[in-house]
Amino acid sequence: MNMHSFELKIVIEAAAGKIFAALTDPRWMAKWDPARWIVCDAHCGGRIRKRDEEDSLAEGEIVVYEPPMRFSYLWPVPTDPDEPEEDVFLVRYEFASEMHGKKSVLTMTATGFPTEELAEREKNSWGGYYLEKIKKVAESMPEDEHAQLDPAKRPVRSGVGATAE
């Protein structure tokens, strides 16, 4: 089966560490992801778990964790968003930051889509919504907060909202 993919880039006026925190720290993830709660086991081989407003649980695996430049995870994506429990395929989402002065270029690559249409659907969601929200979160993160978010010193587990099951 031929797998489909896409790549998106966005310029963010923030250091790579802020972008990494926006992508991996549940306190900041909750500002761009609509989940009711998020748990991120922040290390390679760790899990990302989140529960949405319809009470559906989604879980993925972190496969690359290299603060503050690279982060990648495997995530189940439904073929039909209205039937999330039905036909699901696994997508690899990869984020890489490059510093250019006081700005960073965040490159997002997603691979593993069974059809071009499904890759295009996710590309439109990420490109038209999620990356813009991640940009706003990273750019609005206070400097003193960012100093506390050194990924090497962060707790391994933290949750946002309701307690994980």
pLDDT tens digits for range 95-134: 999 999 889 999 999 999 999 999 999 999 999 899 999 9
pLDDT of 56 reads 86
Question: How many domains is the chain built from?
Answer: 1
**pTM for the whole thing?**
0.84
Joined together, the tokens standing for residue 128 give 């038209």
In a domain, 160, yes or no: no
What's the domain range around 82?
4-155
pLDDT digit string (tens) for 14-42?
999 999 999 999 999 999 998 989 999 99
In a domain, 49, yes or no: yes
In a domain, 161, yes or no: no
Q: Measured between alpha carbons, how far is residue 42 from residues 6, 39, 105, 147, 165 in Å?
A: 25, 9, 22, 18, 18
Which CATH number characterizes residue 55's domain?
A: 3.30.530.20
Burial of 21 (0-12, 13-18, 19+ CB in 10 A): buried
What percent of the chain clears pLDDT 90, i.e. is strictly above it?
Answer: 69
